[in-house]
């Protein structure tokens, strides 16, 4: 092998990361080539110096600083609304599901009311979307008029729970 090829392999040879075949070739070449041997010795000295590199010390309060910063960030509670809502859902699965069902029923009652007022096309659309076609038929309301009352109370509860959620979110922001 020529010198430049050998010199390209010296680094890996020094780290014993060359196949034994190449290793023998390099050793043979080094025996006969003063320039490459000098390069190898220089490289070996450099790596020795790098290996013995003294580590620097660090400030005593390093750990405290890190913990302090973590606590600061936790205090700011840098979460987005979606993150907060998802954490709310994970922590209070039952309550959130109940709230969602109640809100859904509330939406149905809104549709009913809108339909009864006969004011908006939107009301009619919502009515058909949520109520008559899938869940609650007109006849059902006619048969059990108190069903309307339940739906309306569900609407009230859903509005109340919505207010509670908003308040809790505001509280989180303030803290």
Q: Which residues contribute to the site for another protein (CB under 8 A)?
A: 7-12, 15, 17, 42-43, 46-47, 49-51, 53-59, 62-63, 65-67, 69-70, 73
Give the shortest CB-135-to-another protein separation in angstroms.
Answer: 39
Give the shortest CB-67-to-another protein separation in angstroms.
Answer: 6
Complex with another protein: residue 50 or 143, whichever CB lies closer: 50
Complex with another protein: residue 7 or 158, whichever CB lies closer: 7
Give the shortest CB-95-to-another protein separation in angstroms.
Answer: 22
Give the shortest CB-73-to-another protein separation in angstroms.
Answer: 7
> Could you please report the per-residue DSSP string of the chain?
--HHHHHHHHHHHHTT-S-HHHHHHHHHHHHH-HHHHHHHHHHHHHHHHHHTPPPPP--TTHHHHHHHHHHHHHHHT---HHHHHHHHHHHTHHHHHHHHHHHHHHHHHHHHHHHHHT--HHHHHHIIIIIIIII--HHHHHH-THHHHHHHHHHHHHHHHHHHHHHHHHHHHH-
Complex with another protein: residue 43 or 157, whichever CB lies closer: 43
Complex with another protein: residue 46 or 156, whichever CB lies closer: 46
Give the shortest CB-26-to-another protein separation in angstroms.
Answer: 13
Q: Is 136 left (phi over 0), alpha (psi -120 to 50) or beta?
A: beta
Complex with another protein: residue 46 or 122, whichever CB lies closer: 46
Among residues 109, 101, 96, which one has the least CA distance to residue 164? 96
Q: How many angstroms separate the CA atoms of 103 and 95, rounded?
A: 12
């Amino acid at each position: 092998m020529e010198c430049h090829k050998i010199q390209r392999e010296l680094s890996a040879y020094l780290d014993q990361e060359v196949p034994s075949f190449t290793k023998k070739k390099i050793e043979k070449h080094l025996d006969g080539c003063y320039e490459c041997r000098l390069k190898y010795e220089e490289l070996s000295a450099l790596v020795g110096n790098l290996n013995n590199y003294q580590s620097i010390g660090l400030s005593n309060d390093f750990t405290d600083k890190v913990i302090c910063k973590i606590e600061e960030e936790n205090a700011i509670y840098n979460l987005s609304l979606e993150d907060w809502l998802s954490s709310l859902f994970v922590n209070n699965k039952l309550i959130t599901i109940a709230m969602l069902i109640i809100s859904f029923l509330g939406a149905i009652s809104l549709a009913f009311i809108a339909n009864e007022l006969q004011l908006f096309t939107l009301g009619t659309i919502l009515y058909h979307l949520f109520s008559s076609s899938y869940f609650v038929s007109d006849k059902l309301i006619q048969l059990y008029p108190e069903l309307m009352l339940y739906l309306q109370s569900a609407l009230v509860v859903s509005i109340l729970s919505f207010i509670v959620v908003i308040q809790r979110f505001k509280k989180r922001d303030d803290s």
